Structure 1
């Protein structure tokens, strides 16, 4: 009898345990659902007819993407979508793309899906292309597919994309996609977008060499007449012959009003610079120019060609020149700065001319140019490792103080053999500047003492009432631990002030 009761009790307990396990499972599933609903809801924001999804690098997975797809399905009236979905763990975007098709009123789309471990690449490329082709009202598109598709898949997507007749502005990012050989032929469908007036191509690290440039030349020949073109060829190997070929394509786009090209580390040398700047100088309608020629061995002669090309641009308002290169020299630097001095009044100027060792004389040339270009709204000077010393810093400071309309100021004088005196002159120029709202001030890797840094901060503190943001960098100076602690105590929580400083050895505080 007792054994029978024990068996019944065990069966009873077993049933109870099963029920408890089931309840626990249901409760766990419910909590997980609530948690992921809450997490997913934090992954998007709706503002009127705009949806914003800023979820890059959040390690989203497919089941979390499903909730974002649902958001698209439930908001078909949306006219603007910004979906940043890069650097996640998403394998399959097809449901998301299917939901995207339903946004028939969409006019602006920014879709970033690169750096995801997708599967069935060709199928997903076809799904994306099909979705894009349905967005017939679209006129602005930013499409980022970094490290995602091969050239065949890219061509499938762009062929469908070219069916959007009203598309006027396109930014296409294919960073680290292998486009070597005939890979750039996958971009040929772009030439069928007849109303395109603005094109930005990011082909960074796409394994492009001289021979691939013939395809880019063909694309530029076949494109409609653009108003804006930006080519980022950073970290490829197009070399001299490549840039000469590309220049032939750019010759067909001389009507451009805005042009940018980044050729960092492509080894175009002096001859390539001559070819490029010959075309740039003939773009008579240019109002905005961005030249990225850093580390291309353009030497003095190349700098002279840059100056000659710039001097012909009489409508220019915005100019960015990056000619930092250890194989540069004073004559090339002088040609560039003198050309800037003689341009009609600019509104925005960025001059990245570091590691040229232009010295005091170079700083004085810049001062003269800034005296002429005194109506700037934005001024960014990067003089890294030019060894201008205190005298040169004083010249630069005088040029800054001569500006009357500045809204943004950035000064990088790192590694320029400055002592307290030169750094204080620059700080005084910042303090006395009339109206900048954003200031970035760098004097790292100079021999500035504890007292000098404290005096600089006293000056800069006086600029705080008129600025929205003041960023200050003192890295690798002669700062001691005790002064660092004093500065942290006094300025660590000051509104609108962002400080970066360390000691030697470096501290953990920034």
Structure 2
């Protein structure tokens, strides 16, 4: 008996060793090395000439960072580095920056170091300046400095970029940095990057008001002619005058092919919208537009200005419009959606137009628009709190089923006065849609009963063979505890299906 057990153990050990050697062989075949240093807790991965360091939020300190510095020193041939080092306890990056200097062949760098309690920031800024200045082969740089550095230190860092003559793509994240007053002047060195084609500035919560927009206007005036520009000014206070000033800067970049701007919660109102859209409407080369005007009190007049501008953009292929706003009425809604209907066929459409109470007529108008744009690859509709009812849900379902090439579908119909019938029509549209691989269906905060929810899942179950991922959200409906438990038991572990369910009042089930 004992001998038999020993033979079994040896056989198991042999199988385990064979599996390990197979894994090693696969990794070597693809020239991939995976590391997790248990002594320092740092993580990194080497794929040929690419290094990936995913270490955000691991509470790393200086001693642990030194392990990653050594990785850079030992791999001078690296051409691509992705270093995610944000939200740690690192106070000194200078050794890491010094090691970065040795990567003379680097052509793509993502360096995110935000939310660290750094000390002697001007010295560290100078060290980063020196490192960047020596990476002369860089063509793509993603730099994350969230909640770090003052005006002088940021200026030192950006001056280091002026030596990189081949830099064509630049992403800068200054989220929660204080850029008030002359803070944006620290970005002036960017105007010396004469070969720059793509610029993205994330200036979220950066204390920007109308006065600071003069500096952004200057930067946009002096930048080379870009192909692609993304500006995220979420949660600032630029207001009407700031929008007008910003529009003056954008006037110098009318040649753009791709443009994105997020002005969520900036109170630009209809007047600021008129100025901004007056410029956007002249960007006749645009193939991609991402327009974020949510909660800016643009009213119907602002909606009409958005529609007027969209009608001019005859080369658009990708469009995302976010004009959700509590005082945005039918006239504004009609202007926006009618303008989209008149565009040449789009490939990707995202329409975030909730909280406008457009009702049944709004749903019918959207259906007509979807009939016109029937070759979409991606469709995302957010109709939150528009009170379209079951008949409105039926209209939208018909528009979805009319699509011929859909690969991704997202539909948010929360707070829309739906009963079982409307929700079932949307589920049936998902089942009947020809080819979506990723689906996200949300019908929360509607009066959907136990029977309705069971029928919804029976329909969605039939779509599972053709999708890669299906997410369903049914929160705060009329679902009972017993039916909820039945659905969780039946579908909770189904591959590709993610479910969000609850009951009212919520119970303590997990």
TM-score for both structures, normalised by structure 2 = 0.92
CA distance in 1, matches of 2:387, 2:236: 31
CA distance in 2, matches of 1:509, 1:126: 55
Conserved? CA contact 2:378–2:408, under 8 Å: yes
Conserved? CA contact 1:50–1:78, under 8 Å: yes
Conserved? CA contact 2:42–2:64, under 8 Å: no
SS in 2 for 1:38: coil
Alignment of 1:323-362 (within 5 A): 323-362=323-362
Conserved? CA contact 1:133–1:161, under 8 Å: yes
In terms of Rg, which structure is larger? Answer: 1
Q: Deviations over 1:167-216 (max 9, x none)?
A: 00000000010010111110000000010000000000000000110110
Q: How far has the Cα of 1:509 moved from its partner? A: 5.8
2:173 is aligned to 173
CA distance in 1, matches of 2:509, 2:447: 20
CA distance in 2, matches of 1:440, 1:129: 44
CA distance in 2, matches of 1:454, 1:160: 60
CA distance in 2, matches of 1:387, 1:222: 47
CA distance in 1, matches of 2:94, 2:41: 20
Give the ranges of 4+ consecutive aligned residues of structure 1 lying more than 3 Å apart after TM superposition: 39-42, 507-510
1:381 equivalenced with 2:381 (yes/no)? yes
Deviates more, 1:305-314 or 1:54-63: 54-63
Conserved? CA contact 1:439–1:467, under 8 Å: yes
1:21 is aligned to none
1:474 is aligned to 474
SS in 1 for 2:459: helix
1:311 is aligned to 311
CA distance in 1, matches of 2:284, 2:163: 32
Conserved? CA contact 1:502–1:508, under 8 Å: no
CA distance in 2, matches of 1:507, 1:79: 53
1:496 is aligned to 496
Q: How far has the Cα of 1:38 moved from its partner? A: 2.5
CA distance in 1, matches of 2:480, 2:62: 51
Q: Deviations over 1:15-71 (max 9, x none)?
A: xxxxxxxxxxxxxxxxxxxx9932547600111111111110111111111101111
Alignment of 1:55-74 (within 5 A): 55-74=55-74
Conserved? CA contact 2:42–2:55, under 8 Å: no
Conserved? CA contact 1:40–1:68, under 8 Å: no
- Gaps (5+ residues) in structure 1? 1-34
Alignment of 1:141-152 (within 5 A): 141-152=141-152
Q: What is the aligned residue count?
A: 476
CA distance in 2, matches of 1:509, 1:68: 43
Q: Deviations over 1:465-505 (max 9, x none)?
A: 00000000001111111111101110011000000111112
1:213 is aligned to 213
Distance 1:321 1:113, change over 3 A: same
Q: Deviations over 1:302-340 (max 9, x none)?
A: 000000000000000000000000010000000000000
Distance 1:42 1:87, change over 3 A: closer
Conserved? CA contact 2:220–2:253, under 8 Å: yes
Q: How far has the Cα of 1:508 moved from its partner? A: 5.5
Q: Deviations over 1:419-464 (max 9, x none)?
A: 0000000000000000000000000000001111110011001111
1:421 is aligned to 421
CA distance in 1, matches of 2:247, 2:397: 38
1:198 is aligned to 198
Alignment of 1:458-473 (within 5 A): 458-473=458-473
CA distance in 2, matches of 1:41, 1:482: 45
SS in 1 for 2:70: helix
1:295 is aligned to 295
CA distance in 2, matches of 1:271, 1:259: 21
CA distance in 2, matches of 1:206, 1:38: 38
SS in 1 for 2:439: strand
1:247 is aligned to 247
Conserved? CA contact 2:281–2:309, under 8 Å: yes
Conserved? CA contact 2:37–2:43, under 8 Å: no
Alignment of 1:96-115 (within 5 A): 96-115=96-115
Q: How far has the Cα of 1:507 moved from its partner? A: 3.9
CA distance in 2, matches of 1:275, 1:199: 22
SS in 2 for 1:277: helix
Conserved? CA contact 1:501–1:509, under 8 Å: no
- Gaps (5+ residues) in structure 2? 1-34
TM-score for both structures, normalised by structure 1 = 0.92
Q: How far has the Cα of 1:162 moved from its partner? A: 1.9
Distance 1:311 1:272, change over 3 A: same
Q: How far has the Cα of 1:506 moved from its partner? A: 2.1
Distance 1:145 1:508, change over 3 A: farther
Q: CA RMSD in A?
A: 1.2
Alignment of 1:399-410 (within 5 A): 399-410=399-410
CA distance in 1, matches of 2:483, 2:46: 47
SS in 2 for 1:201: strand
2:270 is aligned to 270
Conserved? CA contact 1:502–1:509, under 8 Å: no
CA distance in 1, matches of 2:423, 2:216: 46
